[in-house]
Structure 1
Amino acid sequence: MAKYKLEYIWLDGYQPVPNLRGKTRLASEEPKTIEDCPMWGFDGSSTQQAEGSSSDCLLKPVALYPDAGRSGNCFLVMCEVMMPDGTTPHPSNFRATIEDDPDTWFGLEQEYFLYQDKRPLGWPEDGFPDPQGEYYTGVGYANVGGIAREIVDEHLDLCLAAGINHEGINAEVAKGQWEFQVFAKGSKSCADDIWIARYILLRLCEKYEVDVEWHCKPFLGDWNGSGMHCNFSTKYMREVGGKDYFLKLMDAFEKNKDEHIAAYGPDNHLRLTGLHETQSIDKFSWGIADRGASIRVPHSFVKDDKYQGYLEDRRPNSQGDPYQICSRVLKTIAEVPTS
């Protein structure tokens, strides 16, 4: 009888950034939908989600992905963490409570560094590589090293096989830094896809003996940090828009500046310095094609004075929780009336 490997994946209780966890459930029947994946227990005392005297927690499957990274009949199962009653979300379960709207589309640009021997790939044992300039979208061993492109290409293939919609990948501004871009409809769908894509990358890098560094500023100095720029649009922004609505929306984003920063990932003060294509963390600004603004407005958005399409919030960072990032954006959008 064939067996199916279902990798149950969840976020643990570590703060300020949760870790991905996973364990494999063997099933005798192939899951056709997420409803075919039952709840499953785990020891929450080992993941900072329960006390040892009452350690049971439950995993509630919420999204199902084909898993081309393992041999056999395999799936990745994104889960929410529930209390032992099976109905109450665990306090660490942000997904259960976030704002969501399938008509709000998100594109998240996940930046990260690949590390080996405690330094970015391609960096010398002592000191620093050549200054930034030729690494962004670069090609050649001197710019991208020996195994980095092999890793990012294989990661892309695994994500596409899992049904995670990628818009692109590229080498980034600092040496050893890369980016993948995920697009999905709705806060939960996009965030699920990012977390699963992160899991796939971490697991893939195991065989290369390479680590993934998600921190938004892994080393100080004249080097770019890592962001997770959040591109977003609502049905109203895509089909109606208008300058008056846009200006009111920017007023709402400025009013909620502190709430956004709180949701956009820890240590952002190290990255949002006003240098390296970022606005200072204590300010809010928007600008047309301005990579130094808080929100970048594409030329296509203002074309023919329509103010219609999508916007890019450049403040979220690479280690942020995409559930909280997308939800915070959606909450601010909801404050602005469309009529």
Structure 2
Amino acid sequence: MSKFRLDYVWLDGYTPVANLRTKCMMREFDEFPTLEQLPEWGFDGSSTKQAAGGDSDCVLKPVALYPDPTRLNGVLVMCEVMLPDGSAHPSNSRATIADDEGTWFGFEQEYFLMQGGRPLGFPVGGYPEPQGEYYCGVGFKNVSSLGREISDTHLDLCIEAGINHEGINAEVAAGQWEFQIFGKGSKRCADEMWMARFLLLRLCEEYEIDVEWHCKPVKGDWNGSGMHCNFSTTHLREVGGKEYFLKLMDAFEEFTEEHIAVYGPENELRLTGLHETQSIDKFSWGVADRGASVRVPHSFVKDDKYQGYLEDRRPNSEGDPYLIASRVIQTIQSVPTA
């Protein structure tokens, strides 16, 4: 038998944005363990805003696992937080979300790399060149050697961990980057998104770099950070149709407030109608329209099929992918397909 390092990862009780937490357990297994072999574990919830000091025990329930590419016999364990009686903790956003394996999600996670309290590329007490050459940029003045190294290394780590990482690019603002995660089913995609965030945060410890998830860390004429939610359903992929699509967009407009409520805090700072997507108090859709709430690719409307995937541009970079995917599924399910 071999000793395995199990790094349990969970979401704490901070609001409006939960933090990732982790603790390590050592266990012996004959080979890389299965999810069923991993024990539940406990932690002090009074230190994570999940319990009172007089009754502080919370339970970690393993729900997904990944090989840790940075550790010998390492295992990354995504967990739900449970109460001692076996019920889901109130902070457990995964336990009650709507899920459908036929609904596929792709999240585009934007973020800023921060050093010394400012984004990489920002001089002390000032600003770099205006936005323009940074997006998908090349060269030290546009992306810096450190930004490229961190983004590339993070991609490699995710792939080695079995996370379905789809790609990376430098983003519109200096010091801003993006990675994309794709998964079939809301829980699977959201699990992988949270673990990809965890790997990025842990990687950046080595560089003494902070990851800024806030949707508008630099005020003024600089882009904020989103987490665009691409999605498709079995019906959208295989049938589609203009009549169904228009009804679906009517439902997205009807439930605008419900979507915005779970699409990340302080989204009004980002959804201004100036730099990204539609204003927060409006809903629109458009073909290849970056200023729309929901952007439709040309391939979707080709030959008038209205078939394929859609992109909701409103979720922001601090949003909880469990809640975002769940809300999207609820709205989809409100529209009959026949």
| TM-score for both structures, normalised by structure 1 | 0.98
Residue pair 1:232, 1:311 contacting (<8 A) in 2 also:
yes
* Farther off after superposition, 29-38 or 267-276: 29-38
Deviation track 1:253-283 (CA, whole Å, cap 9, x = no partner) reads: 0000000000100000000001113200000
Provide the C-alpha distance between the structure 1 equivalents of 2:288 and 2:218, rounded to a whole number of angstroms: 28
Deviation at 1:126, TM superposition (A): 1.4
Deviation track 1:96-127 (CA, whole Å, cap 9, x = no partner) reads: 00000011000000000000000001110011
Deviation track 1:140-176 (CA, whole Å, cap 9, x = no partner) reads: 0000112111111110000001111122100000000
Query: Corresponding residue for 1:263?
Result: 262
Deviation at 1:31, TM superposition (A): 4.3
Query: Corresponding residue for 2:232?
Result: 233
Secondary structure, in 3 states, of the residue corresponding to 1:48?
coil
Aligned length: 337
Query: Corresponding residue for 2:35?
Result: 34
Residue pair 1:31, 1:37 contacting (<8 A) in 2 also:
no
Query: Corresponding residue for 2:49?
Result: 48
Provide the C-alpha distance between the structure 1 equivalents of 2:28 and 2:276, rounded to a whole number of angstroms: 52
Provide the C-alpha distance between the structure 1 equivalents of 2:298 and 2:70, rounded to a whole number of angstroms: 39
Alignment map for 1:1-12 (pairs within 5 Å): 2-12=2-12
Provide the C-alpha distance between the structure 2 equivalents of 1:31 and 1:66, rounded to a whole number of angstroms: 8
Deviation track 1:23-69 (CA, whole Å, cap 9, x = no partner) reads: 01101114432111110011001000001100000000000101002
Provide the C-alpha distance between the structure 2 equivalents of 1:52 and 1:106, rounded to a whole number of angstroms: 39
Deviation track 1:266-317 (CA, whole Å, cap 9, x = no partner) reads: 0000000011132000000000000000000000000000000000000000
Amino acid at match of 1:192: D
Does 1:125 pair with 2:101? no
Does 1:80 pair with 2:77? no
* Farther off after superposition, 24-33 or 255-264: 24-33
5+ long unaligned stretches in structure 2: none
Secondary structure, in 3 states, of the residue corresponding to 1:89?
coil
Residue pair 1:295, 1:313 contacting (<8 A) in 2 also:
yes
Alignment map for 1:238-317 (pairs within 5 Å): 238-317=237-316
Provide the C-alpha distance between the structure 1 equivalents of 2:165 and 2:13, rounded to a whole number of angstroms: 28
Provide the C-alpha distance between the structure 2 equivalents of 1:278 and 1:287, rounded to a whole number of angstroms: 11
Provide the C-alpha distance between the structure 1 equivalents of 2:262 and 2:22, rounded to a whole number of angstroms: 25
Amino acid at match of 2:17: V
5+ long unaligned stretches in structure 1: none
Amino acid at match of 1:227: G
Provide the C-alpha distance between the structure 2 equivalents of 1:208 and 1:147, rounded to a whole number of angstroms: 9
Residue pair 1:132, 1:175 contacting (<8 A) in 2 also:
yes
Query: Corresponding residue for 1:99?
Result: 98
Residue pair 1:137, 1:172 contacting (<8 A) in 2 also:
yes
Amino acid at match of 1:310: Y
Provide the C-alpha distance between the structure 2 equivalents of 1:174 and 1:94, rounded to a whole number of angstroms: 31
Provide the C-alpha distance between the structure 2 equivalents of 1:36 and 1:150, rounded to a whole number of angstroms: 36
Residue pair 1:9, 1:20 contacting (<8 A) in 2 also:
yes
Residue pair 1:41, 1:56 contacting (<8 A) in 2 also:
yes
Residue pair 2:270, 2:276 contacting (<8 A) in 1 also:
no
Secondary structure, in 3 states, of the residue corresponding to 2:108?
strand
Provide the C-alpha distance between the structure 2 equivalents of 1:273 and 1:32, rounded to a whole number of angstroms: 48
Q: Point out 4+ residue stretches in structure 1 off by more than 4 angstroms.
A: none
Query: Corresponding residue for 2:63?
Result: 62
Amino acid at match of 2:87: T
Query: Corresponding residue for 2:157?
Result: 158
Query: Corresponding residue for 1:108?
Result: 107
Deviation at 1:2, TM superposition (A): 2.6
Amino acid at match of 1:44: G
Provide the C-alpha distance between the structure 2 equivalents of 1:98 and 1:106, rounded to a whole number of angstroms: 14
Amino acid at match of 1:127: G
Deviation track 1:81-105 (CA, whole Å, cap 9, x = no partner) reads: 00012x2000000100000001100
Amino acid at match of 1:122: G
Deviation at 1:331, TM superposition (A): 0.3
Provide the C-alpha distance between the structure 2 equivalents of 1:42 and 1:174, rounded to a whole number of angstroms: 39
Secondary structure, in 3 states, of the residue corresponding to 1:230?
strand
* Farther off after superposition, 104-113 or 138-147: 138-147
Provide the C-alpha distance between the structure 2 equivalents of 1:285 and 1:334, rounded to a whole number of angstroms: 20
Provide the C-alpha distance between the structure 2 equivalents of 1:46 and 1:253, rounded to a whole number of angstroms: 38
Query: Corresponding residue for 2:22?
Result: 22
Secondary structure, in 3 states, of the residue corresponding to 1:138?
coil
Amino acid at match of 2:2: A
Provide the C-alpha distance between the structure 1 equivalents of 2:70 and 2:281, rounded to a whole number of angstroms: 43
Provide the C-alpha distance between the structure 1 equivalents of 2:37 and 2:191, rounded to a whole number of angstroms: 18
Secondary structure, in 3 states, of the residue corresponding to 2:206?
helix
Secondary structure, in 3 states, of the residue corresponding to 1:219?
coil
